[in-house]
Homo-oligomer: A and B are copies of this chain.
Amino acid sequence: MSHLQGRGHCQSCGIRHLSIFADLGAAQLGSISAFHPAVVGYDSGEVIYHQQTPSNNAFTLRHGLVKLLKVLPNGRSHIVRVLRRGDLFGFDGFAGEAYNHTAIPMTEVEVCRLPLTELLDLKKQLPEIEQSMMIRWIVHLREAEDMMVELGAKKAGERLASFLIRWSNVDRDAAGWVELPLSRAEIGELLGLTVETVSRFMSEWKRQGFLQEQRGTIRMHQVDELRRLVCASGSC
Protein backbone atom coordinates (compact mmCIF):
# COMPACT_ATOMS: atom_id res chain seq x y z
CA MET A 1 0.00 0.00 0.00
CA SER A 2 1.23 3.52 -0.72
CA HIS A 3 2.23 5.40 2.36
CA LEU A 4 3.32 8.89 3.25
CA GLN A 5 6.85 8.85 4.51
CA GLY A 6 6.96 12.39 5.76
CA ARG A 7 7.95 15.72 4.32
CA GLY A 8 10.98 16.18 2.14
CA HIS A 9 13.66 18.78 2.62
CA CYS A 10 14.68 19.77 -0.87
CA GLN A 11 17.80 21.57 0.23
CA SER A 12 19.41 18.49 1.66
CA CYS A 13 17.72 15.98 -0.62
CA GLY A 14 20.00 13.20 -1.78
CA ILE A 15 18.82 13.37 -5.34
CA ARG A 16 18.52 17.12 -5.63
CA HIS A 17 21.41 17.12 -8.09
CA LEU A 18 19.25 15.03 -10.45
CA SER A 19 16.07 17.03 -9.96
CA ILE A 20 14.71 20.27 -11.33
CA PHE A 21 16.31 21.92 -8.30
CA ALA A 22 19.77 20.88 -9.36
CA ASP A 23 20.94 24.22 -10.69
CA LEU A 24 20.00 26.37 -7.75
CA GLY A 25 22.88 28.28 -6.24
CA ALA A 26 23.42 28.65 -2.51
CA ALA A 27 21.51 31.94 -2.60
CA GLN A 28 18.40 30.41 -4.17
CA LEU A 29 18.37 27.38 -1.95
CA GLY A 30 16.81 29.46 0.77
CA SER A 31 13.83 30.14 -1.48
CA ILE A 32 12.84 26.52 -1.48
CA SER A 33 13.40 25.96 2.22
CA ALA A 34 9.70 26.42 2.87
CA PHE A 35 8.82 23.88 0.21
CA HIS A 36 8.31 20.49 1.81
CA PRO A 37 6.79 18.11 -0.68
CA ALA A 38 5.30 14.90 0.64
CA VAL A 39 7.53 11.90 0.19
CA VAL A 40 5.45 8.90 -0.70
CA GLY A 41 6.35 5.25 -1.10
CA TYR A 42 4.62 2.85 -3.47
CA ASP A 43 4.92 -0.85 -4.04
CA SER A 44 5.50 -2.30 -7.44
CA GLY A 45 2.27 -2.44 -9.40
CA GLU A 46 0.34 0.20 -7.47
CA VAL A 47 -1.09 3.18 -9.28
CA ILE A 48 0.50 6.58 -8.63
CA TYR A 49 -2.06 8.25 -10.81
CA HIS A 50 -4.48 7.14 -13.45
CA GLN A 51 -4.94 8.47 -16.97
CA GLN A 52 -7.83 10.93 -17.40
CA THR A 53 -7.74 11.88 -13.76
CA PRO A 54 -7.25 15.56 -12.85
CA SER A 55 -3.58 16.45 -12.63
CA ASN A 56 -2.95 18.43 -9.46
CA ASN A 57 0.45 17.10 -8.53
CA ALA A 58 3.66 16.51 -10.36
CA PHE A 59 6.16 14.00 -9.02
CA THR A 60 9.88 13.51 -8.85
CA LEU A 61 11.11 9.96 -8.72
CA ARG A 62 13.54 9.48 -5.81
CA HIS A 63 14.38 5.87 -6.45
CA GLY A 64 13.09 2.86 -8.28
CA LEU A 65 11.54 2.69 -11.74
CA VAL A 66 8.14 3.89 -12.89
CA LYS A 67 6.38 3.11 -16.14
CA LEU A 68 4.01 5.53 -17.82
CA LEU A 69 1.46 3.67 -19.85
CA LYS A 70 -1.65 4.29 -21.85
CA VAL A 71 -4.43 1.75 -21.91
CA LEU A 72 -6.86 1.55 -24.81
CA PRO A 73 -10.53 0.91 -24.14
CA ASN A 74 -10.09 -2.62 -25.47
CA GLY A 75 -7.41 -3.47 -22.95
CA ARG A 76 -4.34 -3.25 -25.15
CA SER A 77 -1.77 -1.05 -23.54
CA HIS A 78 1.46 0.65 -24.42
CA ILE A 79 4.29 1.85 -22.21
CA VAL A 80 5.13 5.37 -23.21
CA ARG A 81 8.19 5.92 -21.07
CA VAL A 82 10.21 4.36 -18.27
CA LEU A 83 11.29 6.82 -15.62
CA ARG A 84 14.48 6.84 -13.61
CA ARG A 85 15.81 8.59 -10.55
CA GLY A 86 15.36 12.36 -10.74
CA ASP A 87 12.72 12.30 -13.47
CA LEU A 88 9.83 14.72 -13.23
CA PHE A 89 6.41 13.45 -14.30
CA GLY A 90 2.72 14.12 -14.07
CA PHE A 91 2.78 17.81 -14.98
CA ASP A 92 -0.10 17.72 -17.47
CA GLY A 93 -2.00 20.00 -15.13
CA PHE A 94 0.32 22.85 -16.09
CA ALA A 95 -1.50 22.86 -19.40
CA GLY A 96 -4.85 22.49 -17.68
CA GLU A 97 -5.14 18.89 -18.77
CA ALA A 98 -5.88 15.63 -17.00
CA TYR A 99 -3.14 13.03 -16.81
CA ASN A 100 -2.55 11.59 -20.23
CA HIS A 101 -1.21 8.27 -19.01
CA THR A 102 -1.15 6.04 -15.96
CA ALA A 103 1.93 5.93 -13.73
CA ILE A 104 2.82 2.59 -12.16
CA PRO A 105 5.98 1.62 -10.26
CA MET A 106 7.90 -1.34 -11.68
CA THR A 107 9.82 -1.70 -8.43
CA GLU A 108 9.34 -0.34 -4.97
CA VAL A 109 9.63 3.40 -5.38
CA GLU A 110 9.71 6.61 -3.46
CA VAL A 111 8.49 9.85 -5.00
CA CYS A 112 8.16 13.48 -3.99
CA ARG A 113 4.66 14.73 -4.55
CA LEU A 114 4.78 18.34 -5.75
CA PRO A 115 1.53 20.33 -5.73
CA LEU A 116 1.34 22.06 -9.09
CA THR A 117 0.25 25.38 -7.65
CA GLU A 118 3.31 25.54 -5.41
CA LEU A 119 5.59 24.31 -8.12
CA LEU A 120 4.25 26.95 -10.46
CA ASP A 121 5.07 29.64 -7.92
CA LEU A 122 8.58 28.36 -7.46
CA LYS A 123 9.03 28.17 -11.20
CA LYS A 124 8.00 31.79 -11.54
CA GLN A 125 10.32 32.92 -8.79
CA LEU A 126 13.40 31.00 -9.81
CA PRO A 127 14.57 31.16 -13.41
CA GLU A 128 16.83 28.16 -12.81
CA ILE A 129 13.82 25.96 -12.21
CA GLU A 130 12.05 27.42 -15.19
CA GLN A 131 15.05 26.72 -17.36
CA SER A 132 15.54 23.25 -16.00
CA MET A 133 11.94 22.30 -16.68
CA MET A 134 12.09 23.74 -20.18
CA ILE A 135 15.16 21.69 -20.98
CA ARG A 136 13.47 18.56 -19.68
CA TRP A 137 10.44 19.14 -21.87
CA ILE A 138 12.56 19.64 -24.93
CA VAL A 139 14.63 16.57 -24.19
CA HIS A 140 11.53 14.45 -23.60
CA LEU A 141 10.12 15.66 -26.85
CA ARG A 142 13.28 14.59 -28.61
CA GLU A 143 13.17 11.21 -26.95
CA ALA A 144 9.55 10.84 -27.92
CA GLU A 145 10.42 11.64 -31.52
CA ASP A 146 13.19 9.08 -31.42
CA MET A 147 10.83 6.50 -30.02
CA MET A 148 8.31 7.19 -32.78
CA VAL A 149 11.03 6.39 -35.28
CA GLU A 150 11.82 3.16 -33.45
CA LEU A 151 8.20 2.15 -33.53
CA GLY A 152 7.43 3.35 -37.01
CA ALA A 153 10.53 2.57 -39.00
CA LYS A 154 12.22 -0.44 -37.44
CA LYS A 155 11.38 -4.08 -37.18
CA ALA A 156 11.17 -6.24 -34.11
CA GLY A 157 14.81 -7.28 -33.84
CA GLU A 158 16.09 -3.80 -34.51
CA ARG A 159 13.80 -2.25 -31.95
CA LEU A 160 14.72 -4.75 -29.30
CA ALA A 161 18.43 -4.47 -30.01
CA SER A 162 18.51 -0.72 -29.88
CA PHE A 163 16.44 -0.78 -26.71
CA LEU A 164 18.87 -3.16 -25.04
CA ILE A 165 21.86 -1.19 -26.21
CA ARG A 166 20.37 2.05 -24.91
CA TRP A 167 19.36 0.43 -21.65
CA SER A 168 22.73 -1.11 -21.03
CA ASN A 169 24.44 2.23 -21.50
CA VAL A 170 23.24 3.41 -18.11
CA ASP A 171 23.94 1.98 -14.68
CA ARG A 172 26.18 -0.74 -16.04
CA ASP A 173 28.47 -2.13 -13.35
CA ALA A 174 32.19 -2.75 -13.72
CA ALA A 175 31.67 -6.27 -15.05
CA GLY A 176 29.15 -5.02 -17.59
CA TRP A 177 26.00 -6.27 -15.90
CA VAL A 178 22.84 -4.14 -15.92
CA GLU A 179 19.62 -4.55 -14.01
CA LEU A 180 16.68 -5.08 -16.35
CA PRO A 181 13.64 -5.24 -14.12
CA LEU A 182 11.22 -5.44 -17.04
CA SER A 183 9.32 -8.57 -17.87
CA ARG A 184 9.22 -9.75 -21.47
CA ALA A 185 5.64 -8.56 -21.52
CA GLU A 186 6.67 -5.06 -20.45
CA ILE A 187 9.46 -4.89 -22.99
CA GLY A 188 6.85 -5.88 -25.53
CA GLU A 189 4.45 -3.18 -24.42
CA LEU A 190 7.23 -0.66 -24.69
CA LEU A 191 8.34 -1.69 -28.16
CA GLY A 192 5.01 -2.63 -29.64
CA LEU A 193 5.71 -6.36 -29.75
CA THR A 194 4.23 -9.46 -28.18
CA VAL A 195 5.81 -11.36 -25.31
CA GLU A 196 6.60 -14.23 -27.62
CA THR A 197 8.42 -12.11 -30.14
CA VAL A 198 10.56 -10.55 -27.44
CA SER A 199 11.28 -13.92 -25.89
CA ARG A 200 12.26 -15.45 -29.21
CA PHE A 201 14.84 -12.81 -29.99
CA MET A 202 16.27 -12.80 -26.49
CA SER A 203 16.61 -16.57 -26.48
CA GLU A 204 18.20 -16.54 -29.89
CA TRP A 205 20.76 -13.93 -28.84
CA LYS A 206 21.52 -15.74 -25.64
CA ARG A 207 22.11 -18.89 -27.65
CA GLN A 208 24.45 -17.00 -29.92
CA GLY A 209 26.35 -15.58 -26.98
CA PHE A 210 25.57 -11.93 -27.64
CA LEU A 211 23.77 -11.65 -24.37
CA GLN A 212 23.81 -13.17 -20.90
CA GLU A 213 21.02 -13.06 -18.38
CA GLN A 214 20.69 -13.86 -14.68
CA ARG A 215 17.55 -13.21 -12.70
CA GLY A 216 16.66 -9.75 -13.93
CA THR A 217 20.17 -8.74 -14.86
CA ILE A 218 21.65 -8.78 -18.32
CA ARG A 219 25.03 -8.36 -19.85
CA MET A 220 25.60 -7.45 -23.44
CA HIS A 221 28.50 -9.66 -24.23
CA GLN A 222 29.22 -8.44 -27.67
CA VAL A 223 27.46 -5.16 -28.17
CA ASP A 224 29.23 -4.66 -31.46
CA GLU A 225 28.20 -8.04 -32.75
CA LEU A 226 24.62 -7.42 -31.84
CA ARG A 227 24.71 -3.99 -33.31
CA ARG A 228 26.28 -5.25 -36.48
CA LEU A 229 23.89 -8.14 -36.80
CA VAL A 230 20.68 -6.36 -36.13
CA CYS A 231 21.39 -2.77 -37.00
CA ALA A 232 22.96 -3.67 -40.28
CA SER A 233 22.58 -1.10 -42.99
CA GLY A 234 22.32 1.73 -40.54
CA SER A 235 19.01 1.21 -38.86
CA CYS A 236 20.33 1.76 -35.33
Contact = CB atoms under 8 A, between A and B. Distances in A.
Given A97-B138, A135-B95, A73 B235 contact: yes
Nearest to A68: B145
Contact of A192 (B97, B153, B189): B153
Contact of A148 (B78, B97, B133, B141): B78
Contact of A141 (B135, B141, B146, B152): B141
Contact of A149 (B72, B137, B140, B153): B72
A97 B140 CA distance: 12
How many subunits of this chain does the assembly comprise?
2
A138 B91 contact: yes
Interface in A102-158: 124, 127, 130, 133-135, 137-142, 144-149, 151-154
Contacts of A91: 138
Contact of A139 (B78, B95, B192): B95
A213 interface: no
A163 to B, nearest CB: 12
A101 interface: yes
Nearest to A81: B145
A82 to B, nearest CB: 12
A217 B40 CA distance: 53
A186 to B, nearest CB: 13
A78 to B, nearest CB: 4
A92 B144 CA distance: 13
Given A100-B142, A133-B134, A153-B192, 10 more contacts: A70-B153, A72-B153, A78-B149, A78-B152, A80-B145, A92-B138, A92-B142, A95-B138, A134-B134, A151-B152
Question: Across chains A and B, which 7 residue pairs bring their CB atoms closest together, nearest first?
Answer: A73-B234, A152-B192, A144-B144, A74-B234, A151-B151, A137-B137, A95-B138
Interface of A: 68, 70, 72-78, 80-81, 91-92, 94-97, 100-101, 124, 127, 130, 133-135, 137-142, 144-149, 151-154, 189-192, 233-235
